[in-house]
Structure 1
Amino acid sequence: MRTGLTSSLPVWLAVVISLMSFQSYAVTIDRLEKSNDVEIKAWLSDGNGQGDIRKESEQSKTLPSFSVNEQIILNVEVATPRWFTGGTRIESVEIPNVLAKQRNQLATNYTERQGGQTWSRQRWEITLYPVKSGAYKVPPLAVNVQVSAPDGSNVAGTLYTQPLTFDVSLPSGLLSEDTPWFTATSVDVKQEWVQSSEDLKVGDAITRKVTVNAQDSLSVLLPNLLKSDSSPYFQAYPQPHRLDDTQTRGDYQSSRVEETVYVIQQGGDFKLPEHQFQWWNAKTNKLETVTLAGKQFHARHTPASFVKANARSLVNVFVFVVIVLVAFLAGRRYYQRHPTPPWLLFGLEVRKGEWSKARAQLYQYLRVSTDHLEMGKADSDKAWLKTSLQVQTGAEKAYVFHKMWKMISGKKGARNGLRLPKALPKLEKGHKEG
């Protein structure tokens, strides 16, 4: 029994050794990379997705340089001389002060002849947008792949890209990192106006819609244009912004749609303001300014809005009318108990055309004011003589009578239509005789 067990020991030992040998020589993704059966590489290219900037910078011994907010393409490519047997997944890119976005979740697949072999290649593009100046480093990225091994087995594992470095600076001294601007290769702006009614009135609404389309940029970098521009004439109600980033055949497009509803609060003429923004043209290396023109409007008042808009003036008018009415009633009550003043009687008679009564009032006023009974002898002034002559010869013109009344009022001794009595007339007469 012991002899049989002893004789079978080498067989078991051989099986164990063979299993250990198989495991030690099992195909892994690392072995495939070392044997050049799978490869991975990464590089940076400019906003147009052209050129291996990493290689160019290595040749010139300088860091690849980009502008703040400029679009940088991080290219990641995996290749094998056989074929891919499963999906490939790239870990997310996280770099401080850099916005990273993988717009296309599908890789670009193609084949290429290399060294007499046909290689299958998968390429991903990740867009990077540095928002501040400085030196940056793209860390090694983990890429999970599954490929066919030379022995026909499927091998899955993780490959790592090489680290990449680049430099970022402001493209112009006219720009700063504290003011809103963005970088693109092309910008298109469209503005639309919609009125709730053609003939605007208080309570109606005006909708202002602005669409900004930028090539080789990111929607979150596009500036906020329509600020909350409320005024006594209108109230602004901004609507949620619509941001969109797309990629079509290698072209990266970003759009920002802003919409604000202005509800008219007050009638009259008013203007919705213009807005401006700046962007750096990475294609021409120039700073460009875009102006969104404002627009003039006119709105009619409603009764309620008219009262609201002119409340202070209406209150002042109301108070004035009340004061005048109270004064009128008080004066009326006073003159119901007292004689009507001469100037008022004279004015009413002239207005009614009762010229004889008005002429009698003038003579009476002349006597009280000057002690003269004849107009021609009261003064030798030419203007006086001319006007008095017109009154005496029967002129029936209101302006002549009023002028005569005013001239009499200007004579010495006339005080608001009343003659001041002479003090001690007897003494004055005795003085003259002496």
Structure 2
Amino acid sequence: MPIRFFILVCLTLQCVTAHSGEVNVLAHTNLSDHREKVAEQSYLVPKQVLFLDIESLSSTWFTAAPVYPEWSVPGIDIRKSDSQGLSIIKKVDGISYAGLKHRFLLVPLTTGKLAGNQEKITLSPGLSSNKHQATLTLPNINVRLPDGAESLEQFLPASQLTLNDDLSFNAGDELHAGDSFTRTISVNAAGIMGFMIPAINAGEIPDGISVYPEQTTVGNTVTDRNDFLGGYRQQTLTYQLNQVGDYQLPEMSVRWWNLSTQQFETTHLPAVAINVLQAKEAGAESQLQLSPKARIRLVIRQHQFLMASFLIMLLILIQLRAFIFKTLSVLANHFQSLFFKIKKRNQMKHGSDFHLPELNP
């Protein structure tokens, strides 16, 4: 029986069959995203994650894993998923096939009609002395922003989204002028990579309070098998209380495009009311309880400040040392030149018998 295998490619819009000797290659049509089935729509939106599934099948087996191309498609980011390959068994035209299924993540980065290109993968079926190449045709996809979108930078598509915050003080804790606390805002969104989630606007901060952005953490959420689920973004803000008074930190909100309902939604964090008392007397311990993460960040900042101060002082000493040596060298050369001028002038005045004591420069 001749060796036959085929490639099943999701995200194509036509079915193509090619024959090359004993090799049978098939490209099948399908479009999938985080829900496994895309809703009826005439366009896709930027930043949403699509799944490009490639099934490599052989009527025998494979002696090596498929070799995939370095994808290069303008306006589209394609990367291999961290999920494990799946072993699969299928029947095609009455013939049993076995093989592997690998997943790639495809993300439109811009708007417009993005043209797919043809790429080749290399397969090594068992009982065959030759490697075989199969041609994959990526689809042409139409990508645009929905009506009402503010900008591509702030656009956030997701099938689900949660917004939470964590304050480093507890209800009932007294806050005094001179104290500081942190507020960590977390966005978790399904169907988008973490680094594509826009930054969260802290809102207008009232006079009497200063805010300092701390580090931002982004990443992806996955299943136990490393199947992609979505992304997250964590922003930490440090608030410095400068004056006594009653304040309200502004409400925070995230506007996002629901991929399931095809509508915009807005998720809110409520405003935070705080009362700032008089500064504590010198030597009094703060009643403000920092969270473990906030204490770690504070210690890290203190060490970073000390290290930066040490390096600055070291650079100053190095520069000062070089300046001192250069100044002494210039002075030595100056006095040596002056000494020889005086000696020469006195020799000319008193004759060759006049001698000044020798100086060691």
Deviation at 1:114, TM superposition (A): 2.9
Identify the match of residue 296 of structure 1 among 262, 273, 278: 273
Deviation at 1:267, TM superposition (A): 2.3
Helix, strand or coil at the partner of 1:239: strand
Q: Which residue of 1 aligns with 2:60?
A: 82
| 8 A Cα contact 1:42 1:77, kept in partner | no
Q: Which residue of 2 aligns with 1:313?
A: none
Kindly report which structure 2 residues correspond to 1:11-30, keeping only aligned pairs within 5 A, or say none.
none
Identify the match of residue 208 of structure 1 among 160, 166, 183: 183
- The answer to whether structure 1 residue 146 and structure 2 residue 159 are counterparts is no
Give me the whole-angstrom Cα distance separating, in 1, the residues matched to 2:34 and 2:237.
34
Kindly report which structure 2 residues correspond to 1:140-179, keeping only aligned pairs within 5 A, or say none.
140-150=118-128, 153=129, 155-156=130-131, 158-171=133-146, 173-178=147-152
Kindly report which structure 2 residues correspond to 1:390-409, keeping only aligned pairs within 5 A, or say none.
none
Q: Specify the code of the residue in structure 2 equivalent to 1:141.
A: E
Per-residue CA deviation, residues 239-293 of structure 1 (Å, 9 max, x unaligned), is 2222122343656221112211212222222222222221111111221011222
Change over 3 Å in CA distance of 1:52–1:243 after alignment to 2: closer
Q: Specify the code of the residue in structure 2 equivalent to 1:270.
A: Y
- The answer to whether structure 1 residue 234 and structure 2 residue 209 are counterparts is yes
| 8 A Cα contact 1:77 1:122, kept in partner | yes
Q: Which residue of 2 aligns with 1:418?
A: none
Deviation at 1:110, TM superposition (A): 0.9
Q: Which residue of 2 aligns with 1:13?
A: none
Q: Specify the code of the residue in structure 1 equivalent to 2:258.
A: N
Kindly report which structure 2 residues correspond to 1:241-390, keeping only aligned pairs within 5 A, or say none.
241-248=216-223, 252-302=229-279
Give me the whole-angstrom Cα distance separating, in 1, the residues matched to 2:24 and 2:83.
22
Helix, strand or coil at the partner of 1:145: strand
| More helix per residue | 1
Q: Which residue of 1 aligns with 2:355?
A: none
Helix, strand or coil at the partner of 2:261: coil
| 8 A Cα contact 2:32 2:52, kept in partner | no
Deviation at 1:133, TM superposition (A): 2.3
Change over 3 Å in CA distance of 1:122–1:269 after alignment to 2: same
| 8 A Cα contact 2:206 2:248, kept in partner | no
- The answer to whether structure 1 residue 129 and structure 2 residue 111 are counterparts is no
Change over 3 Å in CA distance of 1:98–1:203 after alignment to 2: farther
Q: Across the two proteins, how many residue pairs are aligned to each other? A: 263
Give me the whole-angstrom Cα distance separating, in 1, the residues matched to 2:124 and 2:261.
43
Of 139-148 and 40-49, deviating more is 40-49
Q: Which residue of 1 aligns with 2:69?
A: 91
Higher relative contact order (CA 8 A, sep 6+): 2
Deviation at 1:40, TM superposition (A): 5.8
Helix, strand or coil at the partner of 1:138: coil
| 8 A Cα contact 1:134 1:167, kept in partner | yes
Give me the whole-angstrom Cα distance separating, in 1, the residues matched to 2:28 and 2:181.
51
- The answer to whether structure 1 residue 39 and structure 2 residue 25 are counterparts is yes
| 8 A Cα contact 1:202 1:301, kept in partner | yes
Q: Which has the larger radius of gyration?
A: 1
Identify the match of residue 154 of structure 2 among 180, 183, 186: 180
| 8 A Cα contact 2:175 2:277, kept in partner | yes
| 8 A Cα contact 1:103 1:246, kept in partner | no
Give me the whole-angstrom Cα distance separating, in 1, the residues matched to 2:187 and 2:133.
41
Per-residue CA deviation, residues 365-401 of structure 1 (Å, 9 max, x unaligned), is xxxxxxxxxxxxxxxxxxxxxxxxxxxxxxxxxxxxx
Per-residue CA deviation, residues 387-428 of structure 1 (Å, 9 max, x unaligned), is xxxxxxxxxxxxxxxxxxxxxxxxxxxxxxxxxxxxxxxxxx
Give me the whole-angstrom Cα distance separating, in 2, the residues matched to 1:67 and 1:177.
12
Identify the match of residue 165 of structure 2 among 181, 184, 191: 191
Give me the whole-angstrom Cα distance separating, in 1, the residues matched to 2:262 and 2:42.
17
Change over 3 Å in CA distance of 1:246–1:142 after alignment to 2: farther
Give me the whole-angstrom Cα distance separating, in 2, the residues matched to 1:246 and 1:109.
24
| 8 A Cα contact 2:205 2:250, kept in partner | no
Identify the match of residue 95 of structure 2 among 100, 112, 117: 117
Give me the whole-angstrom Cα distance separating, in 1, the residues matched to 2:35 and 2:119.
20
Deviation at 1:38, TM superposition (A): 5.8
Deviation at 1:174, TM superposition (A): 1.4
Change over 3 Å in CA distance of 1:284–1:204 after alignment to 2: same
Per-residue CA deviation, residues 318-368 of structure 1 (Å, 9 max, x unaligned), is xxxxxxxxxxxxxxxxxxxxxxxxxxxxxxxxxxxxxxxxxxxxxxxxxxx
Helix, strand or coil at the partner of 1:220: helix
| More strand per residue | 2
Change over 3 Å in CA distance of 1:44–1:237 after alignment to 2: farther
Per-residue CA deviation, residues 165-224 of structure 1 (Å, 9 max, x unaligned), is 1111223x2114356121111112222211289211123222111221111122122121
| 8 A Cα contact 2:209 2:243, kept in partner | yes
Q: Specify the code of the residue in structure 2 equivalent to 1:252.
A: L
Q: Specify the code of the residue in structure 2 equivalent to 1:279.
A: W
Change over 3 Å in CA distance of 1:101–1:204 after alignment to 2: farther
Q: Specify the code of the residue in structure 1 equivalent to 2:33.
A: G
Change over 3 Å in CA distance of 1:297–1:87 after alignment to 2: same
Identity, % of aligned positions: 17
| 8 A Cα contact 1:205 1:263, kept in partner | yes
Give me the whole-angstrom Cα distance separating, in 2, the residues matched to 1:230 and 1:267.
15
Helix, strand or coil at the partner of 2:143: strand
Helix, strand or coil at the partner of 1:92: coil
Q: Which residue of 2 aligns with 1:414?
A: none
Deviation at 1:130, TM superposition (A): 2.0
